[in-house]
Amino acid sequence: MAHAESAVAAGRGVSARRSAVGQSAWTGAAARALVTLLALAALWGLWEAYRWIGVRTELTWPFPVDDVTMPHIHSVFQALFEPSRVNGPLLITVLLESAWFTAKEALLGFALGATIGFAIGIVLAHSRLLQRGFLPYIVASQTVPILAIAPMVVVWLKSGWLSVAVIAAYLTFFPVTINTLRGLLSADPRALELMRSYAASPWSVLWKLRVPAAMPYLFSALKVSATASVVGAIIGELPSSIQDGLGGAILNFAQYYSIQPTGLWATNLVAALLGIAFFAAVVVAEKLLVRRAPENVA
Amino acid sequence: MQRRKLGWGVALAVVASLAVAVWAGMGGSAGAATERGSGGGLTKVTLQLKWVTQAQFAGYYAAKAKGFYKGAGLDVNLKVGGPDITPEQVVASGQAEFGIDWLPALLAARDKGGDLVNIAQVFTRSGMTEVTHRDSGITKISQLRGKKVGVWCCGNENELFAALVKNGIDPKKRGDVTIVNQPFDMNLFLQRKVDAAAAMTYNELAQVLETKNPKTGKLYTLADLNVIRMSAAGTGMLEDGVFVGGDWISKTENQATAKQFLRASFRGWIYCRDHQRECVDIVLANGPTLPAGHQAWQMNEINALIWPAPRGIGVMNATEFARTAKIAQQFKVIRKAPSGAYRADLAQAAVKSLKTQRVNVNGARWRRIKVTLREGGK
């Protein structure tokens, strides 16, 4: 009985806390939105102020300031909503189609990289020997520039979306491996002892204790990986002869930068938004999943 | 405990099904392409382009779009190039049967032991120029002495260097001329950081003409510029040609495929000679982020590098080949004089076959059309 009562009391406590959290969450969100807007406005202001001073003083170092080197931010947005060419679709339509194409490659790469990274993390967490043996090479894999790896992947896998996904996965797996490993090893030693005293199998120790403990670590890695997978997909498109994605758009607008500088800025803006969307998706997933993880519920 | 497990199960299922959906979606489209290829009894071949989609390759895009390849029994995959793609390497590794590159680059690959052979020289004139501002008064190569001259690196500088040497200027000697490594765009020239800048007639020259001249407030015109052509300086080199692997082309059945490929590609180029505007649209359909006006200019200037073609399109001129090889050797692009670097028989056979069908393979009466450029190349 006493046990039940305390559980009810705890339940009430939780619900009371939840509603308080609900209110402050709203004001919190509003405050965050305000700060974001202010930060954007400040950046905009800095850009335009530097531009104004640069044009007025005819700055030559580090570069002369004009419409080509620093287009007005409003003209970048304007370019997005202008036809990409005479009688053509709007630039933003073209770019969103490219972004969607790149997003599919990046998502596949992210899924591949996260799964492999997680699996490697689990294997390494169970063997000190493997950890000592392989970790240096896993670290070394990231010191080789992706620009050097990408053409090799294309030679092995032939050009196409699969090589792009593999290149994206190559950038994705590393943070996941390192953080999974750290997270799995971060399980409370007392809890481990308790599990052992119950003669729990290594499998249940892993899934009931270690993996839940690793969740916060895993998700911070996934946030890094999500944006990295977009970068990897964009970089991977060029050596893979794929020009339907953002990589192709970036290359084209870079070629014509001096005659149409806003195109490249607009493309970069869309690429950044895609990265942010990936990041936000992981944040949402974390909110949904980690709340249920034992350390938050208990 | 039960709820948590369910949550994880659902999450895993969602991630897995998403990945599978993307996999299937992308794999599905690739699978469809393969089916179409094998179903029609067509021979699948790949052409590796030198650069991304643009009117420089219009003939091949037209041959595909107008069904010339299909009519010749070929299913041609046009693979775009890019900064990390070397067509010679792609063909040598068997990832493409055909490649497009400038002749000196092909000679360099052969010189390093690559087993590659040119089978058609599509562009017979050099599109390379140095442009100067009209008010600089520089109209000849000899006037570049002591000036800052922009040029692209890595094999693209040889025509200019040959022209300088011909005029007694040593490009390696600091006192003679200052060579500036030029990026893709024409900013150095527009900001007057160089006295002369390298420009292809079909690309960078138009980029200047699509920019406002700060002095007049209007677009630059040809009257604001001096265009010094390498072909006029006598040091033009042969540019875009079709090459294949030497081992591949030694097989009789591949020679038949190559002949069919050349015939259909030549038909594409002939189509673009006679239907410039339509060809620009074909190129734009394949490259939606390209500026349209700029591509119209490019189509016109590319045609000028091919037509008129007195020997028939694609047939190598031995004298021109020898000059390109000589310049390449002079600047150590290659160590020894090339032999067996090209064979003209396949192109000749393709031209002959087109001729018997009364197709005009010479374009003796081709003339440039007038292309109006707009700011930003739109």
* Cβ-defined contact of A254 to B184 (cutoff 8 Å): yes
Q: What is the DSSP letter of B55?
A: G
Q: Are the C-beta atoms of residues B107 and B341 closer than 8 Å to each other?
A: yes
Whole-model pTM: value is 0.85
**Residue B324 falls inside a structural domain:** no
Residues from chain B that touch A263, judged by Cβ atoms under 8 A, are 289
Predicted confidence at residue B351, as pLDDT, reads 97
Q: Which of A17, A49, A70 is the last residue of a domain?
A: A70
**Residue A298 falls inside a structural domain:** no
Per DSSP bridges, beta strands B148-151 and B178-181 are parallel
Q: Specify whether A128 is located in the same domain as A203.
A: yes
Q: Specify whether B101 is located in the same domain as B144.
A: no
**Residue A295 falls inside a structural domain:** no
Q: Of A225, A258, A290, which to mutate for an interface test with B (greatest number of B Cβ within 10 Å)?
A: A258
Q: Specify whether A120 is located in the same domain as A51.
A: no
Residues from chain A that touch B53, judged by Cβ atoms under 8 A, are 243
In this structure, which amino acid lies at residue A208? K
Q: Specify whether B279 is located in the same domain as B223.
A: no
Residue B12's pLDDT band (cuts 50, 70, 90) = low
**Residue B325 falls inside a structural domain:** no
What integer is the mean pLDDT of A35-58?
Answer: 94
Q: Are the C-beta atoms of residues B23 and B31 closer than 8 Å to each other?
A: no
Residue A88's pLDDT band (cuts 50, 70, 90) = confident
What is the CATH number for A203?
A: 1.10.3720.10
Predicted confidence at residue B176, as pLDDT, reads 94
Residues from chain B that touch A148, judged by Cβ atoms under 8 A, are none
**Residue A94 falls inside a structural domain:** yes
Residues from chain A that touch B190, judged by Cβ atoms under 8 A, are 68, 258
Q: Specify whether A46 is located in the same domain as A104.
A: no
* Cβ-defined contact of A85 to B26 (cutoff 8 Å): no
Q: Of A255, A291, A292, which to mutate for an interface test with B (greatest number of B Cβ within 10 Å)?
A: A255
* Cβ-defined contact of B184 to A288 (cutoff 8 Å): no
* Cβ-defined contact of A259 to B8 (cutoff 8 Å): no
Q: Specify whether A66 is located in the same domain as A95.
A: no
Q: Are the C-beta atoms of residues B120 and B262 closer than 8 Å to each other?
A: yes
**Residue B4 falls inside a structural domain:** yes
Predicted confidence at residue A66, as pLDDT, reads 85
What integer is the mean pLDDT of B295-310?
Answer: 97
**Residue B71 falls inside a structural domain:** yes
What integer is the mean pLDDT of A93-118?
Answer: 96
Q: What is the DSSP letter of B11?
A: H
Q: Specify whether B100 is located in the same domain as B249.
A: yes
Residue B32's pLDDT band (cuts 50, 70, 90) = very low
Residues from chain A that touch B15, judged by Cβ atoms under 8 A, are 111
Q: Specify whether B119 is located in the same domain as B157.
A: no
Q: Specify whether A96 is located in the same domain as A110.
A: yes
Q: Tell me which residues of chain B, numbers 32 to 91, contact chain A at a CB-CB cutoff of 8 Å.
A: 48, 52-53, 79-85
- Work out the minimum CA distance from B20 to partner chain A, whole angstroms: 9
* Cβ-defined contact of A251 to B294 (cutoff 8 Å): no
Each residue of B260-280: pLDDT tens digit? 999 999 999 999 999 999 999
Q: Specify whether B99 is located in the same domain as B137.
A: no
Q: Flag whether pLDDT at B40 surpasses 90.
A: no
* Nearest-by-CA chain A residue for B208: A259
**Residue A294 falls inside a structural domain:** no
Q: Specify whether B137 is located in the same domain as B116.
A: no
Q: Specify whether B214 is located in the same domain as B251.
A: no
- Work out the minimum CA distance from B200 to partner chain A, whole angstroms: 13
What integer is the mean pLDDT of B339-353?
Answer: 96
Predicted confidence at residue B21, as pLDDT, reads 61
Q: Which of B229, B255, B286 is the last residue of a domain?
A: B229
Percent of residues, chain A, with pLDDT higher than 90: 67
Q: Write down the mean pLDDT value for chain B.
A: 89
B193 touches chain A (CB under 8 A): no
Q: Please provide residue A60's backbone torsions phi and psi, each rounded to the nearest 5 degrees.
A: -115, -15
Q: Specify whether A47 is located in the same domain as A166.
A: no
**Residue B111 falls inside a structural domain:** yes
**Residue B350 falls inside a structural domain:** no
Q: Which of A21, A52, A70 is the last residue of a domain?
A: A70
What is the spatial distance between Cα A205 and Cα A185, in angstroms, rounded to a whole number?
A: 12
Q: Specify whether B106 is located in the same domain as B158.
A: no
Total structural domains within chain B: 3
Percent of residues, chain B, with pLDDT higher than 90: 74
Residues from chain B that touch A238, judged by Cβ atoms under 8 A, are 82-85
Predicted confidence at residue B17, as pLDDT, reads 62
What integer is the mean pLDDT of B296-320?
Answer: 96
Q: Flag whether pLDDT at A279 surpasses 90.
A: yes
- Closest partner residue to B22 among A104, A251, A259, by Cβ? A104
* Cβ-defined contact of B81 to A257 (cutoff 8 Å): no
What is the spatial distance between Cα B129 and Cα B149, in angstroms, rounded to a whole number?
A: 12
What integer is the mean pLDDT of A46-63?
Answer: 90
What is the spatial distance between Cα B122 and Cα B239, in angstroms, rounded to a whole number?
A: 8
Strand stretches in chain A, DSSP E:
none
Q: Tell me which residues of chain B, numbers 82 to 141, contact chain A at a CB-CB cutoff of 8 Å.
A: 82-85, 93, 95
Q: Which of A40, A70, A100 is the last residue of a domain?
A: A70
Residue B330's pLDDT band (cuts 50, 70, 90) = confident
ipTM of the predicted assembly exceeds 0.85 = no
* Nearest-by-CA chain B residue for A250: B289
What is the CATH number for B164?
A: 3.40.190.10
What is the spatial distance between Cα B165 and Cα B151, in angstroms, rounded to a whole number?
A: 15
**Residue A296 falls inside a structural domain:** no
Q: Specify whether A66 is located in the same domain as A83.
A: no
| Residues of the domain holding A175 | 75-289
Q: Flag whether pLDDT at B361 surpasses 60.
A: yes
Q: In what order do the strands lie in the sheet with B178-181?
A: B178-181, B148-151, B196-200, B128-133, B225-229
**Residue A43 falls inside a structural domain:** yes
| Residues of the domain holding B67 | 43-123+239-317+332-343
- Closest partner residue to B287 among A162, A243, A263, by Cβ? A243
Q: Tell me which residues of chain B, numbers 221 to 240, contact chain A at a CB-CB cutoff of 8 Å.
A: none
Radius of gyration of chain A (CA): 25
What integer is the mean pLDDT of B88-93?
Answer: 92
Q: Specify whether A170 is located in the same domain as A113.
A: yes
What integer is the mean pLDDT of A102-106?
Answer: 96
- Closest partner residue to B84 among A151, A161, A288, by Cβ? A151
What is the spatial distance between Cα B133 and Cα B228, in angstroms, rounded to a whole number?
A: 11
Whose tokens are 């299909």? That residue is B70
Q: Flag whether pLDDT at B162 surpasses 80.
A: yes
> Which one, of B266, B268, B273, lies nearest residue B348 by Cα?
B266
B256: number of Cβ within 10 Å = 14
Supply the angle between the helices A246-255 and A261-290 in degrees, to the nearest 10: 160
Q: Specify whether B34 is located in the same domain as B97.
A: no
Give the burial string for B361-374 (b: 16+ CB within 10 Å, else e): bbbeebeeeebebb
- Work out the minimum CA distance from A258 to partner chain B, whole angstroms: 6
Residues from chain B that touch A243, judged by Cβ atoms under 8 A, are 52-53, 80, 287
Q: Specify whether B37 is located in the same domain as B48.
A: no
Predicted confidence at residue B247, as pLDDT, reads 96
* Cβ-defined contact of A258 to B186 (cutoff 8 Å): yes
What integer is the mean pLDDT of A283-295?
Answer: 76
**Residue B374 falls inside a structural domain:** no
| A37-41, A48-52, A58-62: the lowest-pLDDT one | A58-62
What integer is the mean pLDDT of A69-92?
Answer: 88
Q: Specify whether B253 is located in the same domain as B311.
A: yes
| A22-31, A204-213, B2-11: the lowest-pLDDT one | B2-11
Predicted confidence at residue B246, as pLDDT, reads 96
* Nearest-by-CA chain B residue for A97: B288
Q: Specify whether A48 is located in the same domain as A13.
A: yes
Q: Specify whether A7 is located in the same domain as A146.
A: no
Radius of gyration of chain B (CA): 24
| A14-18, B176-180, B290-294: the lowest-pLDDT one | A14-18
Chain Cα centroid distance, residue B17: 42
Total structural domains within chain A: 2
Q: Specify whether A93 is located in the same domain as A199.
A: yes
Q: Write down the mean pLDDT value for chain A.
A: 88
Each residue of A152-195: pLDDT tens digit? 888 888 878 899 999 999 999 999 999 999 999 999 999 999 99
Q: Specify whether A208 is located in the same domain as A255.
A: yes
**Residue A262 falls inside a structural domain:** yes
Q: Specify whether B222 is located in the same domain as B160.
A: yes
